[in-house]
Amino acid sequence: MQLIVRYTASDPARFRAAFDADAEDRGRNGLSLLQLWREGDGHAWALFQVNDAEAARDYLQTGAKIFESQAGVTASQAHFVETA
């Protein structure tokens, strides 16, 4: 299973610094970063390998909200996906 997240943030440098600082917390919650893309100056997409779905879902409800406030994220969409 993988997780794709689209973030909206007005300051790419602030977002990236907070994103990098959050790596350990994501790892403790079952997520491994596979790829991070930037879409213009206002959006970023992250693709994660999900090693623990329950922990990852819990992270999205708690730890991710803390990260988003630190990163200046104004909106995010998360989608769990599997190979068809």
Q: What is the CATH number of the domain that holds 16?
A: 3.30.70.100
- Count of domains forming the chain: 1
CA-based torsion, 20, 38, 12, 53: positive or negative: negative
Residue 23 confidence (pLDDT): 97
Tens-place pLDDT, residues 12-57? 999 999 999 999 999 999 999 999 999 998 999 999 999 999 999 9
Tens-place pLDDT, residues 66-77? 999 999 999 999
Residue 25 confidence (pLDDT): 96
User: How is the chain split among helix, strand and coil, in percent rounded to 5?
Assistant: 40, 40, 20
Domain that holds residue 54: 2-81
How far apart (Å, rounded) are the C-alpha atoms in residues 32 and 18? 16
Structure tokens at 14: 């602030």
Beta strands in 1-84 (DSSP E): 2-9, 31-39, 43-50, 73-81
For the beta carbon of residue 19, count every other beta carbon within 10 angstroms: 21
